[in-house]
């Protein structure tokens, strides 16, 4: 668990002092820098908005709201503008989802409101990405969770953007320092996900090469782990044909080898 | 394993603390923050192997011989698990072009100011590999919060100037001293723009001094960072140079100078290669106040496509060399 995820999700969340440890000054600072709602509570209620000791309250007395607001704004600008190899910015990664945000909030031309809402979201609570923290999710995955909660754009397009980003990230860094969502399956030579649809779409990275495209329902079935005989039965193909397809998937590294592939 | 320099030299008034200092004073060196994918940085290339950008290569081709010492700032190569081998190709290419043997690493992930749990194990492993492979003689990092709750910051925040902040920083520095194979030099943090929240009543100069005295660590005084603190207090003119006696002057091993500006009334640690007159003035004063100072480093000069320094950076470097000339030969 990271310090961030030990924090209460929002400053206004009920907090029972008898069971929760008081926040440290650094935890309060982190909350204030990341959460617009926390800053609003601070503005309205002062330090009484936080579950902190009297000593921490005294330490925080030197903290200036205007400076924290400026630091928070700088962080939002930084996160919106930063680029990652193979991914680009958040806007590059989720173009249709961001367009949906712009359509809903046309006055948010700089997307600052979007970034503030993202950082305030429950989805962002698991975001963490320093070399010392390897169990958090990347900001892109937090954005996907945020967009889903906000119902931005079409679910299918949103999921397609998400899977494209995750596969690109894995192509660049095959051993990620962040937690992968369960929709990504790993095999010895590859990582992949299948987006349901007609036809299903495969998102895969195989030997550092990205494969994105439609696949047959049988391929999707086999990639989901269904036994070959059952998959053949479900999709009305012969066991031999299904075994041939499975062997090809094994050869690509998408499915772990088993005796039937030899 | 400590470098020869680190083993041989000791600051005189510190009870025998190993120091990365050379017995001689170094002429002006250069430090570069080389971001992956940036025009002044490294390039990732799976097929051909990583390398420095052409701009950096050209700069080192034409200027390497002039650099008394050189530091590189560590920037993450990507979002993969830390693995020193991932850095070797790009950094090998860099250091094949760096002729000076006096090299240092400017860290950005030790997070020396944090009061929260922070697992440095993988960071230490990577760092010691890089120290050994590239023969870094010391490691420098700003005493600050480089991340908050596991989330990166665009500019490090000052540590907590409180009793707990001091205890934590001492603990962090000692842990780094124990785990890293060359000395850790602790840098005074910046208060850039209006983006540096400050917590606690302790004077930052005295805070750094307490840490250096408690841990024996050498210090880097970043001239722009010092000015940014005084500017933040509303001081101007001669008052910008107040309180210097509160700094750990005996522990000061290196001065850093990075281009700075005043924008909308705020002092900005811009790293754009243009030094303010007040930076040169403070540098000159510190040269006379820090008896164990060994290195003066110009951080992040602007490099043109041709590899030449931008005129403003070249001018700043020339002025810095002029300011330090007497000190360097004394």
H helices, E strands: number in chain A: 13, 4
Identify the pLDDT of residue B16: 36
Percent of chain B at pLDDT exceeding 90? 88
Mean pLDDT to the nearest integer, B234-245: 98
Identify the pLDDT of residue B85: 97
Question: Which contiguous run of DSSP H or E holds residue A169?
Answer: helix A155-172
DSSP character at residue B78: S
Among B227, B217, B203, smallest CA distance to B254 is for: B217
Contacts B172 to A, Cβ<8 Å: none
Among A87, A257, A123, A115, smallest CA distance to A189 is for: A257
Q: Could you tell me the two tokens for A108?
A: 């948010």
Contacts B117 to A, Cβ<8 Å: 3
Q: Could you tell me the two tokens for B330?
A: 């004394």
Q: At what angle do helices B121-134 and B85-95 cross, to 10 degrees?
A: 30
Indicate whether B290 pLDDT > 50.
Answer: yes
> pLDDT by residue (tens digit) across B44-55?
998 899 999 999
User: How high is the mean pLDDT of chain B?
Assistant: 92
Q: Is any Cβ of chain A less than 8 angstroms from the Cβ of B237?
A: no
Each domain of chain B, given as residue ranges in start order, spans 4-329
What are the C-alpha distances in Å from B304 to residues B55, B94, B203? 7, 18, 40
Among B194, B316, B312, smallest CA distance to B263 is for: B194
Identify the pLDDT of residue A5: 32
Q: Which of residues A133 and B288 earns the better pLDDT score?
A: B288
| Helix boundaries (H) for B195-309 | 204-215, 223-232, 277-289
DSSP character at residue A23: P
B136 DSSP β-pair partners = B103
Identify the pLDDT of residue A18: 54
State how far the Cα of B97 lies from the Cα of B94, in Å rounded to an integer: 6
Q: Which of residues A27 and B194 earns the better pLDDT score?
A: A27
Mean pLDDT to the nearest integer, B275-282: 98
Q: What is the model's pTM?
A: 0.91
Is the separation of the CB atoms in A203 and A194 below 8 Å?
A: yes
Mean pLDDT to the nearest integer, B212-219: 97
A15-19, B4-8, B136-140, B182-186: the lowest-pLDDT one: B4-8
Q: Which of A22, A127, A131 to mutate to test the interface with B (most CBs of B within 10 A)?
A: A131
Is the separation of the CB atoms in A176 and B79 below 8 Å?
A: yes
Identify the pLDDT of residue A258: 63
Question: Which contiguous run of DSSP H or E holds residue A202?
Answer: strand A201-206
Indicate whether B323 pLDDT > 70.
Answer: yes
**Per-residue DSSP letters for B171-200?**
HHHHHHHHHSSS-EEEEPPP--TT-----S
> pLDDT by residue (tens digit) across B105-157?
999 999 999 999 999 999 999 999 999 999 999 999 999 999 999 999 999 99
Q: Is any Cβ of chain A less than 8 angstroms from the Cβ of B164?
A: yes
What are the C-alpha distances in Å from A99 to residues A90, A105, B303? 12, 10, 37
Q: Could you tell me the two tokens for B244?
A: 């210097």
Contacts B147 to A, Cβ<8 Å: 130, 132
Across B6-64, the runs of DSSP E, i.e. the strands, are: 29-33, 35-36, 41-43, 51-52
CATH class of B4-329: alpha beta
Low-confidence ranges of chain A (pLDDT < 70): 1-19, 258-262
The answer to whether A130 contacts B147, with C-beta atoms less than 8 Å apart, is yes
Contacts A128 to B, Cβ<8 Å: 149-151
Burial B40-77 (b: 16+ CB within 10 A, else e): bbbbbeeeeebbbbebbbbbbeebeeebbbbbbbbbbb
């Amino acid at each position: 668990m990271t310090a961030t995820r030990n924090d209460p999700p929002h400053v206004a969340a009920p907090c029972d002092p008898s069971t929760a440890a008081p926040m440290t000054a650094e935890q309060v600072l982190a909350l204030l820098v990341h959460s617009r709602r926390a800053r609003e509570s601070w503005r309205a209620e002062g330090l009484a908005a936080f579950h902190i000791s009297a000593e921490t309250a005294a330490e925080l007395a030197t903290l200036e709201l205007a400076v924290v607001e400026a630091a928070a704004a700088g962080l939002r600008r930084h996160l919106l503008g930063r680029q990652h190899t193979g991914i680009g910015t958040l806007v590059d990664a989720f173009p249709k989802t961001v367009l949906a945000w712009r359509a809903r909030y046309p006055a948010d031309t700089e997307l600052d409101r979007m970034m503030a809402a993202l950082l305030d979201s429950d989805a962002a609570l698991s975001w963490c990405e320093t070399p010392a923290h390897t169990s958090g999710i990347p900001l892109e995955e937090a954005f996907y969770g945020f967009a889903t909660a906000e119902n931005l754009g079409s679910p299918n397009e949103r999921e397609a953007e998400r899977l494209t980003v995750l596969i690109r990230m894995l192509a660049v860094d095959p051993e990620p320092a962040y937690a992968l969502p369960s929709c990504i399956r790993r095999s010895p030579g590859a990582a992949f996900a299948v987006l349901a649809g007609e036809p299903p779409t495969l998102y895969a990275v195989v030997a550092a090469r990205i494969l994105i495209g439609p696949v047959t329902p049988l391929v999707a079935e086999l990639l989901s782990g269904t036994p070959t005989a059952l998959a053949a039965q479900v999709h009305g193909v012969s066991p031999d044909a299904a075994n041939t397809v499975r062997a090809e998937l094994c050869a690509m590294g998408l499915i772990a080898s088993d005796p039937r592939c030899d | 394993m400590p470098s020869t320099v680190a083993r041989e030299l000791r600051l005189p008034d510190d009870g025998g603390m190993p120091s990365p200092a050379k017995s001689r004073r170094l002429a002006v060196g250069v430090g570069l923050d080389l971001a992956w994918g940036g025009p002044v940085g490294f390039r990732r290339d799976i097929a051909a192997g990583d390398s420095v950008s052409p701009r950096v290569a050209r700069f080192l081709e034409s200027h390497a011989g002039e650099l008394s010492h050189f530091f590189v700032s560590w920037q993450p190569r990507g979002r993969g698990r830390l693995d020193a081998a991932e850095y070797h190709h790009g950094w090998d290419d860099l250091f094949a072009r760096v002729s000076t043997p006096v090299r240092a690493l400017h860290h950005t992930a030790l997070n020396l100011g944090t009061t929260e749990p922070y697992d440095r194990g993988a960071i230490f492993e990577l760092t010691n590999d890089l120290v050994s492979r590239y023969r870094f003689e010391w490691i420098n990092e700003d005493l600050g919060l480089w991340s908050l709750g596991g989330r990166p910051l665009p500019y490090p925040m000052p540590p907590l100037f409180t009793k707990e902040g001091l205890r934590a920083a001492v603990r962090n520095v000692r842990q780094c001293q124990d785990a890293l194979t060359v000395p850790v030099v602790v840098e005074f943090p910046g208060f850039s723009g209006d983006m540096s929240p400050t917590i606690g009543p302790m004077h930052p100069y005295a805070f750094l001094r307490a840490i250096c005295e408690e841990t024996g660590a050498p210090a880097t005084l970043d001239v722009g960072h010092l000015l940014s603190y005084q500017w933040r207090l509303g001081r101007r003119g001669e008052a910008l140079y107040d309180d210097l006696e509160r700094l750990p002057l005996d522990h000061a091993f290196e001065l850093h100078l990075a281009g700075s500006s005043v924008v909308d009334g705020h002092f900005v640690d811009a790293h754009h290669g243009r030094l303010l007159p007040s930076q040169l003035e403070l540098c000159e004063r510190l040269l006379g106040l820090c008896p164990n100072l060994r290195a003066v480093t110009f951080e992040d000069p602007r490099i043109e496509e041709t590899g030449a320094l931008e005129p403003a950076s070249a001018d700043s470097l020339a002025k810095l060399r002029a300011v330090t000339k007497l000190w360097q030969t004394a």
